[in-house]
Amino acid sequence: RADLKTYNLEEINKHDNKKDGIWVIFKQGVYDITDFVDKHPGGPSKILMAAGSSIEPFWAIFANHNTQEIYELLESMRIGNISKENVVFNTINENDPYSKEPIRHKALKINGQKPFCAEPPPSLLIESFITPTELFYVRNHLPVPEIDIKTYSLELIVGEVTRKELKFEDIKKYPKYTITSAIMCGGNRRSEMAKEKQLRGLSWGIGAVGNAIWTGARLCDILKDLKINEDDYNHVQFEGYDLDPSGTPYSASIPIHKGMDCRADVILAYEMNGQIIPRDHGFPVRVIVPGVVGARNVKWLAKIIVTKEESQSQWQQRDYKAFSPSTDWDNVDFSTAPAIQEMPVISAICKPEPSETIKVINGKINVKGYAWSGGGRKIIRVDVTNDQGKTWHTANLNAEDYNAKEGKYWSWTLWSIDLPVKKDCKETEIWAKAVDASYNVQPESFRNIWNLRGFLCNAYHRVKVKLEH
């Protein structure tokens, strides 16, 4: 509709409160929903998560919105269109390497602005088995590079010799594979470990994880074409197009067997959830190494290097490693610990959230969360207690990758339980722990797994809530 006003994103973003008015975006349209918020059937708090931003990722989760009736209701609140130039910031500061960052969804809780690090709120995280792209956590170490798909190239290096340059179209010519896989940051749930003892690292909650559908070429097919002998090398390194101020790229590596083994499902992904990967998640090509710590899933892939040595980057050598609880910054020797690869078993309670008041129905409360283990190990059980472990209740596993083959459970598992609570109890603490196919279990507390950088934070998740009978 041409008669409508045009608004830029900056302006729309400001309308996230009652005083200035509450606006949302859907497709090209801008809508003023200020008066509707209190009438929202799902409650005002849910709809307010989209305030000043797009409602599309929410409607992807709460798909009951996609009806003609609701479209018409929304249309009645339309005030305009978003401007076409909104993808470019109004005030570009050429000296700021972060001046060309993509626009992010406002529901993400920001842990760091430059580089951008953010996670979705727990209650949204487990609303769907597949995490909507816009709500998927973002962990950048450097500015997001600007890449033109027409000139994009991926260099394949064996030892010191460049063997090939693949254009985007060349990568697409390889057989197309789709996997569903979670990615989790090595620092997920760090804020809980930090309560045990001070540590260094971004304060992640339980949302530095997401589960998405990844489509692309298999690394094993690309390496096969190079006709290399696996025995001559030890590692596959990946370099990104994102550069630090000295011009050094983000880089990480995985063991050669993982890269060469087709069963490992390592993918050079160019699609996320059926669409072109957005800039924050590695446009146009990123590596997905299922079951392995997020840090090795290199985004904005520039080079693949098959070598004898592990990546020498700071992220492989002096980060993403864990130590004894007695190791501190005065005595740590990073060369003594291996780089984290496959992740241990972990779980989290996403609903209810800490300090929330919940209604007891027929003596029970509903508890929901996720569980996941690295290395493709299936989650076989989730145990939940609210009497400090005197009684454990087994949760229902509601969603998992039902097509996965043994040893290839790359996705997370969503679970839920109606947990019995004591009569007249005003407060309770819920604990959850998962068990994987190797019968690995989570440690009871952070005390004995504390490490100075706050990695592998997989102790029982504990959430205190208030009860309303």
Residues labelled catalytic: 40, 65, 139, 185, 320
Of 253 and 416, CB closest to Mo ion: 253
As a whole number of angstroms, the distance between CA 401 and CA 214 comes to 14
Using CB under 6 A, which residues numbered 336 to 395 contact ligand MTE?
Answer: none
Q: Among residues 207, 290, 291, 294, which is the contact residue for ligand MTE, using CB under 6 A?
A: 294
Enter the tokens of residue 126. Answer: 């487990």
Of 299 and 433, CB closest to ligand MTE: 299
CB of 320 to Mo ion, least distance (A): 7
Find tokens 């608004």 and name the residue.
7
Amino acid type, 333: D
Q: Among residues 12, 156, 298, 414, which is the contact residue for ligand MTE, using CB under 6 A?
A: 298
CB of 242 to ligand MTE, least distance (A): 5
Is 158 an interacting residue with respect to Mo ion (CB under 5 A)?
no
Is 214 an interacting residue with respect to ligand MTE (CB under 6 A)?
no
Q: Among residues 299, 303, 377, 378, which is the contact residue for ligand MTE, using CB under 6 A?
A: 299
Using CB under 6 A, which residues numbered 216 to 245 contact ligand MTE?
Answer: 240, 242
**Residues 6 or more apart from 90 whose CB is under 8 A from it?**
8, 10
DSSP-assigned letters across all residues of 70-111: HHHHHHTTEEEEE-GGGGS-SS--TT-TTTTPPP--TTSEEE
Using CB under 5 A, which residues numbered 274 to 333 contact Mo ion?
Answer: 294-295
Q: Are residues 22 and 16 in contact, defined by beta-carbon separation less than 8 angstroms?
A: yes
* 3-class SS of residue 315: helix
Terminal Cα-to-Cα distance of the chain (whole angstroms): 52
- Cα dihedral 116, 119, 120, 126 in deg (nearest 10): 150
As a whole number of angstroms, the distance between CA 199 and CA 18 comes to 39
**Residues 6 or more apart from 201 whose CB is under 8 A from it?**
187, 190, 194, 453, 454, 455
Tell me 62's DSSP state. S
Site pattern 254..293 for ligand MTE (x: CB under 6 A): ---------------------------x------------
Is 250 an interacting residue with respect to ligand MTE (CB under 6 A)?
yes
Is 141 an interacting residue with respect to ligand MTE (CB under 6 A)?
yes
When computed from its CA atoms, the radius of gyration of the chain, rounded to whole angstroms, is: 23
Q: Among residues 9, 48, 82, 138, which is the contact residue for ligand MTE, using CB under 6 A?
A: 138
Site pattern 174..213 for ligand MTE (x: CB under 6 A): ---------x-x----------------------------
Residue nearest to Mo ion (CB): 185
Enter the tokens of residue 35. Answer: 């008066």
The string over 187-202, giving b where at least 16 C-beta atoms fall within 10 Å of a residue's C-beta and e elsewhere, is bbbbbbbbebeebebb
Is 105 an interacting residue with respect to ligand MTE (CB under 6 A)?
no
Enter the tokens of residue 464. Answer: 């205190």
Q: Among residues 15, 65, 106, 139, which is the contact residue for Mo ion, using CB under 5 A?
A: 139
Is 343 an interacting residue with respect to Mo ion (CB under 5 A)?
no
Stretch that binds ligand MTE, among 32-40, 263-271, 294-302, 373-381 (CB under 6 A): 294-302
Enter the tokens of residue 180. Answer: 């569903």
As a whole number of angstroms, the distance between CA 430 and CA 354 comes to 10
CB of 116 to ligand MTE, least distance (A): 9
Of 291 and 352, CB closest to ligand MTE: 291
| Residue closest to 202 by CA, chosen among 332, 376, 320 | 320
The site partner of 461 among Mo ion, ligand MTE, none (C-beta below 5 to 8 Å per kind) is: none
CA angle 201, 93, 284 (to 5 degrees): 65
DSSP-assigned letters across all residues of 230-274: GGG--EEEEEEEEE-TTSPEEEEEEEHHHHH-GGG--EEEEEETT
Amino acid type, 251: S
Is 305 an interacting residue with respect to ligand MTE (CB under 6 A)?
no
Using CB under 5 A, which residues numbered 161 to 190 contact Mo ion?
Answer: 185
CB of 41 to ligand MTE, least distance (A): 32
Plot region of 456 (φ>0 → left; ψ -120 to 50 → alpha; else → beta): left
Of 137 and 460, CB closest to ligand MTE: 137
Of 299 and 378, CB closest to ligand MTE: 299
Contacts with ligand MTE by CB under 6 A: the residue count is 19
The site partner of 138 among Mo ion, ligand MTE, none (C-beta below 5 to 8 Å per kind) is: ligand MTE
As a whole number of angstroms, the distance between CA 454 and CA 190 comes to 6
Contacts with Mo ion by CB under 5 A: the residue count is 4
The site partner of 183 among ligand MTE, Mo ion, none (C-beta below 5 to 8 Å per kind) is: ligand MTE
Of 244 and 444, CB closest to ligand MTE: 244
CB of 194 to Mo ion, least distance (A): 16
Residues lying near ligand MTE in the complex (CB under 6 A) are found at 136-142, 183, 185, 240, 242, 250, 281, 294-295, 297-300
Binding site for Mo ion (CB under 5 A): 139, 185, 294-295
